[in-house]
A and B are shown apart, each in its own frame.
Chain A
Amino acid sequence: MTSLATGTGPATAPGSVGAALETVSAATNDGYADLPRHLLAASDLSREAAIAVLDTAERIDQAIAGREVRKLPTLRGRTVVNLFYEDSTRTRISFELAAKRLSADVINFSAKGSSVSKGESLKDTALTLQAMGADAVVIRHSASGAPHRLAGWVAGTVINAGDGTHEHPTQALLDAFTLRRHLLGGAVRDRVGNGLDARHVVIVGDILHSRVARSNVTLLHALGARVTLVAPPTLLPVGVDEWPCSVSYDLDAALAGADAAMMLRVQKERMDGAFFPTAREYTRGYGLDLRRRALIAPHGIVMHPGPMNRGMEIAPAVADGEGSVVTEQVANGVTVRMAVLYLLVSGEGADRV
């Protein structure tokens, strides 16, 4: 086992970043054996592997905190490609920042203005990236399973940044990271090594089409949390009863004493009467207003993966109010994605390939 700093050459100054990162490696040692080659779905992570990612994120956060140059040399010389077939400025920027803070070379390959818009197949794009020697490909795609296909065509690590209505595992990791910070105590030592056992998270909204919900149910369950999904029946998939969570149509009842409420965005195209009669009726039944906010446990938090429809699934007073961690989620996203890239793409990951 080499430390996070070793292998990045003599650039590491002793006693500063290097020392902090020794701790990162030491703490996550046990998780390594367990880490997947690719991160395609939350189910790729065992409880131990998920905790290793969260712990690594904590240490990275510590290592960077207060530094003038918020950059680690870990992925120097490695190439990370952001392959985005869907518009998603926030996720792309988050991954880009994470890779750059690890000193990787980052290439943004978006569907617009590239060979993709000329009709190139995913496979041909994959072979192109392969030929260019990408060490990791971060892919966002409108088709469920596209990252699985890509993983079969490239030698590097594939990280799913959201595929269709399937999964968005780094979103679930950043949500778990955020939950742990708020529900497990203020000191890092209270959190490191721990899951979210017995915490109750309520996920509300368009479960049927939500990759965020799918990843969160799997990951939060693996971390020991209790999950309740709340949605109108039309926005729950057939087969949801097999998921490791409970399902309710009654938001008030579900929120009572919950540790967190995670509100999902309702897409405009679902509002035209196909899944529920009107936006107003949806808000009445499934929107988080101040009255419902008060039902959550006093220490409870309000989460949203963004972008929010203010006044639809979440009232502005709740989104901006006490216990709302929406912007913190965004900040944590960068840290958690750094942890994922570090664990999967650094020398440790490459050795396993």
Chain B
Amino acid sequence: MTTFAAAQEFSEREGGRPAPVLIRGAAPYGEDPADVLLAGGRIAAVGVDASVHPEAADAEVVDGSGLVLLPGLVDLHTHLREPGAEDAETVASGSAAAALGGYTAVFAMPNTEPAADTAGVVEQVFRLGREVGLVDVQPIGAVTVGRNGSQLAELAAMASSAARVRMFSDDGSCVADPLLMRRALEYVKAFGGVIAQHAEEVRLTAGAQMHEGVVSARLGLAGWPAVAEEAIVARDCLLAEHVGSRLHVCHVSTSGSVELIAAAKAHGASVTAEVTPHHLLLTDSRAESYDPVNKVNPPLRPDPHVQALRRALADGVIDCVATDHAPHARQDKETEWAAARPGMLGLETALSVVCAAMCETGLLDWRGVARVMSENPARIGGLADHGRPIAAGEPANLTLINPSARWTVRAEALASLSRNTPYEGMELPARVVATFLRGRATVRDAALAAGAAV
């Protein structure tokens, strides 16, 4: 790919305009193959027009035969850990992991140190993302000052900052006070915001280590009952409807939450929801090893919940997949279970896990994957240039996938600074081959593109 890199570097010297790329024979949405020409940061042409387009003459040609072309993936729920925990992840390393996972945009959760609860911090994260340039990093603002759950942060200031924040969350903590939650939902209506709630009734999860059920009873680990999530989901759906605002439910993990969200949607509430890849694939039996790589919040649930989440994602009750990519330094995972911090890596494995859980089971096709991993999250998060159709004139944010590849996850081979993947040693389907951000390759041949390296 030297020629490509050289061309790209040359074009950058020429003024930042990436060299044209002609993707030959890839199948948009896994449907009929069509040539796709990227030029000037946009999709210049699709189909028979592509190769005869004037820009195609100088274009670098990518052989896409046998590959699937999707709009670049969008993650509504990423922990980049910068500022404050740069030993676990940085904006740079997290961006690299995202690009390798097929993402062109990630939403950075505000539970950093300091918390992203002011215009200053969100602008810092936004700027770091821009400097790295591998994905669009869209900061999420904290709902309350210091994520303490007691006083609203300056939401409007973050909304009008350079980061143009529209999604707010105290993720990691629940906005527990019902009145404060109501005020937050109301307040963000002024600028078209949405509150992303980490639904956890903390009075029901004191000391909780894993899903409360048969396995926790046997392992002697304090239980995190499904009702602790569902109680908050129910309350917040009612609040969102009452004040006519937008609620997004983070990492839905129980069948009961699915039923509540379905009911709220049927009732006309502006409620959206996400599910993580790990809640679609893994169950609470993972705790039997006592290896905290399987510790996550909300916790892994038994199989009936997993099946309900898959169905809900397939039929649209759950709108999208979000990774909850949560890197942790080794010392925070190489401990006894109770001492470990909750969270799992997700960005580099999400697409493959979704394929294993949803595609190989016949619940989603590639059109569906595009919907739940790109279009819907972009729409919910308000990103105009992501999750767009693969059509002439649209921004060239794309990912190219080898659907027949199988690969074995090795933590040591991941771009994330952390190693806490629960998929170590698992063979998973589908591999991201290339990712294009505004027409420029961030990933080529399943590795960071030369010139895109950080």
Q: Do A and B bind each other?
A: yes
Residues of chain A whose beta carbon lies under 8 Å from any beta carbon of chain B: 121-123, 141-146, 148-149, 163-167, 211, 214, 237-240, 242-243
User: Are A239 and B214 within 8 A (Cβ)?
Assistant: yes
Q: A121-B334, A145-B290, A149-B290 are in contact. Are A237 and B339 (CB under 8 A)?
A: no
Q: A164-B220, A214-B218, A239-B216 are in contact. Are A145 and B337 (CB under 8 A)?
A: yes
CB atoms of A239 and B334 under 8 A apart = no
Q: Known contacts A238-B212, A239-B212; is A146 also within 8 Å of B219 by CB?
A: no
Give the residues in chain B near A165, CB-CB below 8 Å: 220-222
Which residues of the other chain, B, contact A146 by a CB distance below 8 angstroms?
A: 290, 336-337
Q: Is B215 in the interface zone, CB < 8 Å from A? A: yes
B338 touches which one: A123, A164, A242, A243 (CB < 8 A)? A164
- What is the number of residues of chain B that contact chain A, defined by CB distance less than 8 Å? 24
B217 touches A145 (CB 8 A): no
Q: Mark B324-336, 1 if CB is under 8 A from A, else 0.
A: 0000000100111
The interface bits of chain B over 179-218 (1 if a CB of A lies within 8 angstroms of the residue's CB, else 0) are 0000000000000000000000000000001001111111
B222:A143 contact, CB within 8 angstroms: no
Is B3 an interface residue when CB atoms closer than 8 A count as contact?
no
Beyond contacts A123-B334, A141-B336, A143-B336: 19 other A-B pairs, Cβ-Cβ < 8 A, are A143-B338, A144-B338, A145-B220, A145-B221, A145-B337, A146-B290, A149-B337, A164-B338, A167-B220, A211-B220, A214-B220, A237-B217, A238-B213, A238-B216, A238-B223, A238-B225, A239-B212, A239-B214, A243-B218
Name the contact of A143 in the complex, choosing from B213, B218, B331, B339 (C-beta under 8 A): B339
Asked if B289 lies at the interface with its beta carbon under 8 angstroms from chain A, I say yes
Contact partners of B221 in chain A: CB under 8 A? 144-145, 164-166
Q: How far is the CB of A219 from chain B (nearest CB, A)?
A: 14
Q: Which one of B209, B219, B289, B336 contacts A122 once the chains associate, using CB atoms below 8 Å?
A: B336
A237: nearest chain-B partner, CB-CB: B217
Cα of A243 to Cα of B339 in the assembled complex, Å: 27
**Closest 7 CB pairs between A and B?**
A145-B290, A166-B220, A239-B217, A237-B217, A143-B336, A239-B214, A165-B220
With a cutoff of 8 Å between Cβ atoms, the chain B residues found around residue A144 in the complex are: 209, 219-221, 290, 337-338
The complex places the Cα of A122 from the Cα of B222 at a distance, in Å, of 20
Establish whether residues A240 and B335, one from each chain, have CB atoms under 8 Å apart when the complex forms.
Answer: no
Task: Given A143-B336, A143-B337, verify A148-B222 contact (CB < 8 Å).
Answer: no
Scan residues 328-376 of chain B and give those whose CB is less than 8 A from a CB of chain A. 331, 334-339
Chain A residues in 8 Å Cβ range of B335: 121-123, 149
Whole-angstrom distance between the alpha carbons of A121 and B334 in the complex? Answer: 9
Q: Which residues does chain B contribute within 8 Å of A122, judged by CB atoms?
A: 335-336, 339
Question: Residue of A at shortest CB range from B222?
Answer: A165
B214 and A242 contacting across the interface, CB-CB below 8 Å: yes
Q: Which of B217, B289, B331 contacts A121 (CB 8 A)?
A: B331
- Whether the pair B218, A239 counts as a contact (CB closer than 8 A) is yes
Q: Do A242 and B289 touch across chains, with their CB atoms under 8 A apart?
A: no
Known contacts A237-B223, A238-B223, A239-B212; A145 and B336 CB within 8 A of each other? yes
Q: Which of B217, B220, B222, B291 contacts A242 (CB 8 A)?
A: B217
Query: Could you tell me if A149 and B213 are in contact, using CB atoms closer than 8 angstroms?
Result: no
B77 to chain A, nearest CB (A): 28
Contact B290 A239 (CB under 8 A): no
Return 6 A-B CB contacts under 8 Å, by A number. Answer: A123-B335, A142-B338, A144-B220, A164-B338, A165-B221, A239-B216
Instruction: Give bound CA distance, A122 to B337, whole Å.
Output: 11
Residues of A within 8 A of B331 (CB): 121
Alpha-carbon distance between A245 and B218 when the two chains are bound, in angstroms: 13
